Amino acid sequence: MFEWFLILILLAIVIVLFIKYSRLRGEIEQRARSIFETWRREELEIIKEEYDRKVEERARVLYEKWKIEEEERIRQDAISRSAATIIGKVGEHLAPIIIFSNYGINPKDIRFIGTPIDFIAFKGLSDEKPEKIIFIEVKSGKTLALTDREKKVKELIDAGRVEWKLIHLPTEIEKIYKKWRHKVDEKTIVII
């Protein structure tokens, strides 16, 4: 009987030890998992910070490179536009010589207007033998396209919608004076 009692006590001790072992094992696994999660989170944070730093550094390098290239492109564009403007201005000054060379119109017969067209030539006028009037637009760039205003002027000329006006300033001023006086007379109120 004593043996059974001893076996029973040993069995109880084994059960208690097994329960404690199971609890300790669970606690150890939970602590190990907690330590692992903390380590993993810290490592991920370190990796993320390093990655962010590298990405930021790469972005800064790419931005600086882009800025330098873009500044260079803007400078080149400004230079080419400036050159085009200068060539255009010089071209307009040289145009009468070129027109004389290619079309036989004396530079003395050419008058610069500027807008909406560049020149009007009175061919033969300097020789007292006027032949015709020529409207001239000078293009110095890559395109030969006319602006909308230039197109409209060309259409008027092509349609023959050109006329001659003689303006006599004293007569015109008298017309204005009469209109103004008539309007003042209509608006005048007589007060007695």
Report H helices in the chain. Answer: 2-103, 148-158, 169-187
Cut 0.85: pTM above it = no
Question: In sequence order, which residues have a C-beta less than 8 Å from that of residue 96 and are 6 or more positions away?
Answer: 105, 107, 110, 119
pLDDT at 186: 61
pLDDT at 90: 82
* Spans of the chain, pLDDT less than 50: none
Residue 150 — φ and ψ, nearest 5°? Answer: -65, -40
C-beta separation of 116 from 135 below 8 A = no
pLDDT at 102: 92
pLDDT at 81: 86
Chain-centre distance for alpha carbon 37: 52
pLDDT at 94: 84
pLDDT at 103: 92
| Cα separations in angstroms, 115 against 137, 147, 153, 154 | 9, 11, 11, 13
pLDDT at 2: 78
